[in-house]
């Protein structure tokens, strides 16, 4: 007999509403319990289809209905906001860790400590990821699903023709970008972009800042972004755009697709992106794939700092079917299926479970830099512990908006001083 995950509760008879925090389970006409899942749309159809099939398998084995809605990342905030306002919440939702922290701080995410511990006891998570989903008082508010990381993509054919090797430092990167720029023929060395909604810029700018000695918050918990190291790095970035002119003219207004398109079209010799782009290149442009090299993030005076991007699952406190959603999360982290799913999409989805990084797929010369980067993962709020305030700074795009002004000609020192004030205002709200 198939196991029923959650029975329908007689909340109406008890006079309990959704907004009291009780679990109100939506039952379909066929009498089965329903689990509504919001999942981030992957750029590869195979990942989307495997996820849906896994949920269908769970539904069949447990005699429940699972409804999966695949959503583009840029549409999630609108969806979450509307769901929170109306109370029509998904049971299980995708979140980036930066969103998990912010929503948890608002008191609307479920405590997932028991689920995390149950999974961790069977198939341990990578220990370095725990701080990104754990509150200061030790509550786990999200379950890691997969990691990703920006790496350097570079055109090996252009590098060979120019007699260059992959840049190991940011000075190397600038030198290569200058040598590879051929403005008359519409080729630019550095595919770095900014813009109001550019999350790629948020991650990359932090990598450049942190690797050159800049910190978000000092040991006393005060915002410390306004420093000589930050201003110097800001000047370096401005020079790439204005003095060196190694970026496309449109890069000051790019969204997240800007650097992808620039590399795929041959406009840029170097960009920074996650592994989904490599999958696209391999499938759609085999010649470009053969001429693409992958390297870890360049180093600065403080070494190589890699902002860790961690995605996973969370449950709203007022979701209808929290118990069913928790069981589904555990099912999605079953190591046998999870290994197949992650390895199928490598190098985009970096595994969060221990013992997987030695799998053969990660030894490929183009895949290895992605998983090797995890050793240098840093999280928002560096070098202090990640907090929801760091999430709000990220989600508000304070950094990319600041640097959009800088790369269009504003004084770096003045912009960084303003960024200090804006960030401190966010951190002050947390006190």
Q: Tell me what pLDDT residue 160 has.
A: 98
Residue 223 DSSP code: B
Q: Is 385 helix (H, G, I), strand (E, B) or coil?
A: coil
Domain with CATH 3.40.190.10 in the chain: 34-149+308-376, 151-305+397-430
What is the number of H-type helices and E-type strands within the chain? 18, 11
pTM of the model: 0.85
Torsion, Cα of 109, 111, 117, 120 (10° steps):
0
Q: Along the chain (431 residues), what's the average pLDDT of each consecutive run of 10 residues?
A: 35 32 40 91 87 98 97 93 96 96 93 98 92 92 96 98 98 98 97 89 96 93 95 98 97 93 97 93 95 96 92 97 98 97 92 92 93 84 88 92 96 98 92 65
Which residues, including other chains, have CB under 8 Å from residue 403's CB and lie 6 or more apart?
A: 194, 201, 205, 234, 237, 415
Mention the CATH class of domain 151-305+397-430.
alpha beta
Let me know if 12 is exposed, middle or buried by CB neighbors in 10 A (0-12, 13-18, 19+): exposed
Task: Give all strands (DSSP E) within 308-350, no chain letters.
Answer: 309-314
Domain 34-149+308-376 architecture: 3-Layer(aba) Sandwich (3.40)
Q: Torsion angle of alpha carbons 409, 411, 417, 420, nearest 10°?
A: 20
Q: What is the pLDDT of residue 76?
A: 94
Q: For position 136, what pLDDT does the model report?
A: 86
CA pair distance 58, 53, nearest whole angstrom:
9
Say what the pLDDT of residue 31 is: 63
């Amino acid at each position: 007999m198939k196991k029923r995950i959650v029975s329908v509760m007689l909340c109406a008879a008890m006079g309990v509403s959704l907004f009291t925090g009780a679990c109100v389970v939506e039952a379909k006409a066929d009498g089965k319990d329903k689990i509504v899942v919001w999942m981030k749309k992957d750029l590869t159809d195979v990942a989307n289809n495997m996820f849906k099939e896994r949920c269908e398998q769970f539904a069949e084995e447990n005699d429940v209905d699972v409804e999966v809605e695949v959503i583009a990342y840029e549409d999630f905030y609108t969806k979450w906001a509307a769901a929170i306002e109306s109370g029509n919440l998904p049971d299980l939702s995708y979140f980036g860790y930066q969103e998990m922290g912010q929503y948890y701080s608002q008191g609307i995410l479920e405590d997932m400590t028991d689920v995390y511990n149950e999974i961790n006891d069977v198939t341990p998570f990578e220990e370095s990821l725990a701080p990104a989903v754990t509150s200061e008082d030790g509550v786990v508010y999200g379950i890691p699903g997969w990691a990703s990381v920006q790496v350097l993509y570079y055109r090996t054919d252009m590098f060979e023709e120019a007699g260059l090797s992959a840049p190991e430092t940011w000075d190397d990167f600038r030198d290569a970008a200058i040598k590879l720029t051929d403005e008359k023929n519409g080729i630019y060395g550095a595919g770095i972009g900014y813009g109001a909604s550019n999350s790629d810029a948020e991650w990359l700018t932090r990598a450049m800042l942190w690797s050159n000695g800049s910190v978000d918050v000092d040991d006393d918990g005060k915002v410390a972004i306004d420093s000589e190291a930050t201003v110097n790095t800001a000047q370096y970035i401005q020079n790439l755009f204005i003095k060196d002119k190694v970026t496309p003219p449109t890069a000051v207004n790019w969204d997240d697709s800007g650097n992808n398109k620039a590399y795929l079209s041959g406009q840029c010799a170097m960009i920074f992106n996650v592994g989904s782009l490599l999958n696209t290149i391999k499938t759609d442009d085999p010649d470009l794939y053969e001429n693409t090299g992958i390297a870890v993030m360049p180093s600065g005076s403080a070494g190589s700092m890699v902002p860790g991007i961690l995605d996973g699952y969370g449950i709203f406190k007022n979701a209808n079917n929290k118990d069913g959603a928790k069981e589904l999360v555990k099912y999605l982290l079953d190591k046998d299926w999870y290994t197949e799913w992650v390895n199928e999409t490598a190098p985009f989805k970096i595994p969060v479970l221990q013992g997987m990084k030695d799998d053969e797929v990660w030894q490929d010369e183009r895949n290895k830099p992605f998983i090797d980067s995890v050793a240098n993962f840093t999280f928002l709020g560096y070098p202090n512990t990640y907090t929801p305030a760091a999430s709000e700074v990220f989600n508000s795009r304070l950094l990319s908006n600041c640097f959009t002004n800088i790369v269009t000609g504003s004084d770096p020192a003045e912009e960084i001083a303003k960024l200090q004030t804006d960030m401190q205002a966010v951190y002050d709200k947390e006190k």
